Amino acid sequence: MTSSAKLSPETDVQAISLIRGLAMDAPLYAKSGHQGTAMALAPLAHVLYSRVLRHAPQNSAWRNRDRFILSNGHASILQYAMLFLNGYGLEMEDIKAFRQWESQTPGHPEVGHTNGVEVTTGPLGQGFANAVGMAIAERNLRERFGRDLMDHHTFVLAGDGCFMEGISHEAASLAGHLGLDRLVCVFDDNGITIDGSTSLTCSDDVAKRFASYGWNVIQGGEIGEDLDALEAMLNAARNHTGQPTLCILKTHIGFPSPDFTDVHEAHGNPFNAEHVAKTKAIMGIPDEAFWAPSDVVAKVRSHAASRGSELLSAYDTAVAHAEGKHGFDQCWSDPNGDEIAALMPAFAPDSNLATRQAIQQCIESSASAIPGLLIGSADLTGNTGVKVKSVGAQSKQLPTGQQVYFGIREHAMGAAMVGMALHGGVIPVGGTFFVFADYMRPAIRLAALSKARVIFVFTHDSVGVGEDGPTHQPIEHLASLRVIPGLQVIRPADSNETKVAWECALTYDGPTALVLSRQSLPITTDGDAVRYGAETVVNTDHPQVVLVGTGSEVAVCVAAAKLLHAQGVEANVVSMPSFDRFAAQSAKYRETVFPANVPVLSVEAGVTFGWSQFAHVSVGIDRFGASAPGSTVMSKLGISPENVADRAHELVARSK
């Protein structure tokens, strides 16, 4: 616990005025940004950081800190002002560089870029769902290893935009069902969106909505300028047990501007120098750009550092006597690749498993070496193979459970997993059908931007899905994921490659998409192609053509190569499970896979977009699929050994 000492009332007033001044000055200086929300929420943010939030600026990575997420990330200047004022390393030059090239204060908060930012926010609703994931991670670790090691809250600030986005409905429903009582959300109820009043588009009763989800709801009302009332509200939320809490705070965007209070234009950057001067006059501070008296900054920083020192000291004392420390530390360590590899199952050369079945065996075999594993699915646990028999189901009744049933909530699952990963101490794995990656794309993109170690397991990866038809047959999805920078995409050809893919996903410093088959596949590789991104699995002395495929199409290429050999054409076959891993190899290695002057034919049951960087001709599916047995659809759309051999003949003839 920290001492009850607070800043003086005079310092509180000056600090809030300073925050509001920066909220006007930085966007004005940058000619870009959002002023009004940050101005209205300055008192709340100051109370949160100076009285409620358990944080330590001198050690921003302290494991047991309270997490704060600004879900309405467009108000980033508010968070930057707090990080500056509380001593997280931002200085006035950083504030002046708001939204500029290579600055520490980008347009929206970015984790790993600015010290003190927990998650990357901006796309509305994502931060709220990230917070739900953080709360799941915190509770699981607390219940498994004890409160001396993990015992904190997650605070998230959200606005009307966050709650209009569909992801918030899914995430709030999940949080209420799980009873995540260390989750506190403050709803900035200002009734404003970019287009105007929320009455234009929305008539939800937010309090009743969240109550129906199983949340505790506190109606804060018009207390936005009452620091003691704000503190009491936040502490009441912190102390509530059994449910997550929503604090509804009625605010006035742009306050105390005489020109833009409660005006929807205040959402953006309407303040010119005259508007700023008039507002500063009302606050009683100088009409001075970036006004920040050194004594006020020093007092707030000293106060934050003192509170942080007390918290860190108390935590160190508690940890020293904690029984579960060894296992807890293991959760925060990177998985041991050699240990994982030693636990992997051996697949017989004549085995014939779908890669979604192989991944389940790999996960089950290695679970003991991944103490931080939190694994689940969006209502497709058995179908996707993301199941560990030895762990219980995560629930309000069994918070130690490591099997998460997300329900039919792909949006929330993706973002919650990002929150889990960024919380630390857990490795989230989530599965669904590949076609539903569309629902998760914003979270996948933010996982890559955040370098969050999240493992997305996507199964039923092609028209091989069969009878479910084109609505469930992914066509463009592989190409769409491959273009996301930093996302490791692996589509293994068989059980051996699936085994290595699981190892590579666990040890990759960022998110991975594992793209797996519904249908059974023969063993065609030794698995090493995954390590290099691509490898020759059928090698001839004098190849006339290279057939390159991924996933289930590698077996098609192997069969086509046999047909070609019988017809007098020699073909190498390359398995290429990962474009991005192959791109990381040396030019010399890449030339051994694709020798100069040998034509290349790619084969993949999806759009041909992207293959031109490797192949001269592509066999693919540049249309939607059809409802029929999977093998029939594959054959009818040209994914067959016979068609591949015919196309290879044409390519060889043309090359000559």
Residues designated catalytic:
410
Bridge partners, residue 219, by sequence: 248
Spatial CB neighbours of 547, under 8 Å, sequence gap ≥ 6: 557, 560, 561, 571, 572, 573, 574, 601, 603, 644, 648
- Residue reference for tokens 């999240």: 454
Question: What six digits make up the tokens of 379?
Answer: 């209502």
Spatial CB neighbours of 395, under 8 Å, sequence gap ≥ 6: 178, 401
- Residue reference for tokens 């009734």: 191
DSSP string, 236-250: HHHH--SS-EEEEEE
The string over 245-274, giving b where at least 16 C-beta atoms fall within 10 Å of a residue's C-beta and e elsewhere, is bbbbbebbbbbbbeebbbbbbbbbbbbeee
- Crossing angle (nearest 10°) for helices 495-507 and 355-366: 50
Give the separation between CA 299 and CA 296, rounded to whole angstroms: 5
**Max Cα–Cα distance, the chain, nearest Å:** 90
Give the separation between CA 59 and CA 81, rounded to whole angstroms: 18
Catalogue the long-range contacts made by 395-402 (C-beta closer than 8 Å, 24 or more residues apart).
Answer: 395/178, 396/177, 396/178, 396/179, 399/139, 399/140, 399/142, 399/143, 400/140, 400/143, 400/144, 401/140, 402/140, 402/373, 402/374, 402/375
Question: What six digits make up the tokens of 53?
Answer: 């939030």
Q: Quick one: which of 527, 524, 498, 455 has its CA closest to 360? A: 498
Reduced to 3 states (helix: H, G, I; strand: E, B; else coil), residue 375 is strand
